[in-house]
Amino acid sequence: MKRLAVAFTGPSNSGKTTLIQKISQHLSATHRVVIVKHDPKDKAKFDTEGKDSDKFFKSGADTVVLSPTRTTYFSHSPSSVESVIEMVGEFDFFLVEGLKTIPLPRIAIFRNRIDESYLDYAQAIAIDKSVDITTYQLPPELDILDLNDTQGVIEWIRNHAKKV
């Protein structure tokens, strides 16, 4: 197993989820991929109201749902990226959306404009043609990736991801 980890950050609606999904679809054909999504405002919904797993979780219990094709784990306790890595065991690629201060190589994603507040956390940016980079003073060590070139982003990940 490769155990390579990388993170993605950027403003809402910049294309983070879409890019991560494309990367995962490509890599999952031959590798085990794990994705962690940060939910800083605690607003994500994971189960259907009234279903058994929803009732069990609302009872206060940590809940695990086992099925022939997946395992779903709902916990009332916060967790760290390190504990998730330990819990999932073997993997090739570990993709994190958000958590901009964890020490992982990071790609910041932008459309229309670059929010420079993200640049202190990023080693690369992925942009499309809607961003005119000539209007920004970007750090010279920052790699610039094409948001629509999934293969190019994957190659950057292979070369820069952190072994965990």
In this structure, are residues 96 and 7 in contact, taking their beta carbons and an 8 Å threshold? yes
Per-residue model confidence as pLDDT tens digits over 11-60: 989 999 999 999 999 999 999 999 998 776 666 666 778 888 888 888 78
Residue with tokens 């939910």: 39
Nearest to 84 by CA among 66, 96, 67: 96
CATH code, residues 4-43+80-163: 3.40.50.300
Q: Is the dihedral of CA 128, 110, 106, 44 positive or negative?
A: negative
pTM of the model: 0.88
Instruction: Give the domain ranges of the chain.
Output: 4-43+80-163
Q: In 3-state terms, what secondary structure has residue 34? A: strand
Per-residue model confidence as pLDDT tens digits over 10-25: 998 999 999 999 999 9
Give the C-alpha distances (Å, rounded to integers) separating 41 from 38, 65, 98, 128. Answer: 9, 24, 12, 28
**CA–CA distance, 120 with 123 (Å, rounded to integer):** 8
| Pair of tokens at residue 77 | 């306790």
Q: What is the CA radius of gyration of the chain?
A: 17
Confidence (pLDDT) at 45: 67
Nearest to 156 by CA among 140, 143, 139: 143
